[in-house]
Amino acid sequence: MAEYTEEDIIKHVALRKLNGKSRIRKIIDPRNYLINLLYYHFDWTQDRIASLFEIHRTTMLHAKDMAYNLEKDPDFLENTKEVRAAFPWEAVSKESLCGINQHKRLRTVIMHLTTQEFDMLNKYRKKIRVLSVGGAARTFLVSNLNILKELSDEQRQETDTGTS
């Protein structure tokens, strides 16, 4: 891992103009990555980070865990390519440090559906009374994977009893 200092990060923020209000992901993704690094690695206070980035402390409070929450997001990875190369760091959150809710951390799967497939999935969503189409897709996938597992277990038992 390359060595870098807090001063290197401060210079990078000024050079890349990552401070100030913005809703542009190409600006806020690298900023959130650096906020995570400063807060969790260098133990900066919320006020100190907010001052550096010229943002409100509550914005910083939300931003400090975004690098962890978006670590698998393709847009986040693209937007933070330069800053991750300059300042290697595995983003963390309070929950990951304390081991809280690790079993609830879900992996992202991106799917492309035709309009007809999406409409069918949306009808399924309404039938099972799930709020999101993504939630319906997950429910459908998990239930069918469980069926396949049961079939596989049954076939294995038949094979085991048939060869005894």
- Name the one residue in this structure whose structure tokens are 């190409």: 26
Residue 139 in any domain: the answer is yes
User: Does 81 share its domain with 132?
Assistant: no
Tell me how far apart the alpha carbons of residues 155 and 147 are, in angstroms, rounded to a whole number.
Answer: 12
* pLDDT tens, position by position, 129-154: 888 888 889 889 988 888 888 888 88
User: Does 20 share its domain with 87?
Assistant: yes
Task: Report the candidate in 75, 7, 72, 61 with the shortest Cα–Cα distance to residue 32.
Answer: 61
Q: What is the pTM of this model?
A: 0.59
Residue 136 in any domain: the answer is yes
Residue that wins the pLDDT comparison between 44 and 95? 44
Residue 107 in any domain: the answer is no
How large is the average pLDDT for residues 72-90?
93
User: What is the tally of structural domains in the chain?
Assistant: 2
Tell me how far apart the alpha carbons of residues 153 and 133 are, in angstroms, rounded to a whole number.
Answer: 30
User: Does 16 share its domain with 59?
Assistant: yes
Residue 23 in any domain: the answer is yes
Domain that holds residue 143: 115-162
Token pair for 149:
């597992």
How large is the average pLDDT for residues 42-53?
92
The residue among 49, 77, 101 that closes a domain is 101
| Amino acid at residue number 25 | R
Tell me how far apart the alpha carbons of residues 15 and 42 are, in angstroms, rounded to a whole number.
Answer: 20
The residue among 48, 79, 101 that closes a domain is 101
Q: What DSSP state is assigned to residue 115?
A: H
Average pLDDT over the chain reads 86
User: Does 96 share its domain with 119?
Assistant: no
Residue 106 in any domain: the answer is no
* pLDDT tens, position by position, 97-126: 665 444 455 677 888 999 999 999 999 989
